[in-house]
């Protein structure tokens, strides 16, 4: 891990990437492996996981987003900041391949992700019936330029203290793609971050308005009840 091309024309100090995928795909174990933690007593992430580490001279911050269906609506809050992402699939879970496909295609239609690079990891290749990368690419109906990598996230190279070769390959491919298109991605990212700030501000104002409205309604109701109580006592 760490084979970086020299195509960048501007200094790159830090990069944020995200790991997405439906629940039980192996995202948390992938995050730990990238960070050099090879203890794989992983449980599905509820919410957000995060690790920061050096990749050559670049500081990488990697987010692991929970894949439960109820949490997926939160993913989009991370789209603007991320430079690219890794999509993880449990390639042995035939019954959920279509669910993974639908979630991925819905995600990449978002305006903040349409032009951002991503790599697909066909995880759990040690399991019986696991779909190989080439076939998974067809099953997910991915564009030709998108690369899919076979991996067994939980089988790192312990002697060399390195992740599984598939994991290393996925990260190298993603980072090199980001570096090759860095100026354009940086410009797009700044625009997206500004839009996300506006969205966050609008949502904050709407929430404040709802709270104030609810408070006003409670106060009006309390005043009316007090008025009725006073009227009843006067009779």
Binding residues for GTP: 21-28, 67, 123-126
Binding-site residue numbers are: 21-28, 45, 67, 123-126
DSSP letter at 95? G
Q: State the DSSP H helix or E strand holding residue 208, giving kind and residue range, or none if neither.
A: helix 182-234
The neighbouring-strand residues paired with 65 are 48
CA-to-CA dists, residue 113 to 78, 103, 223, angstroms: 10, 13, 50
- Work out the angle between the directed axes of helices 182-234 and 165-180 (0-180°, nearest 10): 100
Binding-site residue numbers for Mg(2+) are: 28, 45
DSSP letter at 141? T
**Cα separation of 165 and 81, whole Å?**
27
Nearest residue to 16 (alpha-carbon basis) of 66, 84, 65: 84
Q: State the DSSP H helix or E strand holding residue 121, giving kind and residue range, or none if neither.
A: strand 118-123
**Cα separation of 106 and 13, whole Å?**
31
């Amino acid at each position: 891990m760490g084979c970086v091309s020299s195509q960048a024309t501007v200094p790159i100090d830090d990069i944020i990437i995200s790991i997405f995928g439906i629940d039980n795909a192996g995202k948390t174990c992938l995050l730990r492996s990238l960070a050099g933690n090879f203890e794989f007593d992983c449980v599905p992430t509820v919410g957000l996981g995060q690790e920061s580490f050096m990749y050559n001279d670049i500081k990488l911050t990697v987010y692991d987003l929970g894949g439960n269906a109820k949490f997926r609506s939160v993913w989009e809050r991370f789209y603007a900041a991320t430079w690219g992402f890794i999509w993880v699939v449990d390639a042995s879970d035939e019954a959920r391949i279509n669910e993974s496909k639908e979630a991925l295609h819905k995600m990449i239609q978002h305006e903040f992700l349409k032009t951002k690079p991503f790599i697909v990891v066909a995880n759990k290749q040690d399991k019986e019936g696991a779909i190989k990368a080439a076939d998974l690419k067809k099953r997910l109906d991915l564009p030709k330029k998108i690369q899919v990598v076979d991996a067994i996230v939980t089988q790192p190279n312990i002697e060399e203290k390195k992740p599984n070769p598939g994991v290393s390959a996925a990260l190298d491919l993603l980072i090199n793609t980001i570096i090759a298109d860095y100026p354009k991605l940086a410009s797009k990212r700044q625009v997206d971050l500004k839009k996300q700030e506006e969205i966050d501000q609008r949502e904050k104002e709407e929430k404040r308005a709802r709270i104030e409205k609810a408070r006003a309604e409670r106060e009006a109701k309390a005043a009316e009840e007090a008025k009725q109580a006073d009227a009843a006592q006067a009779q």
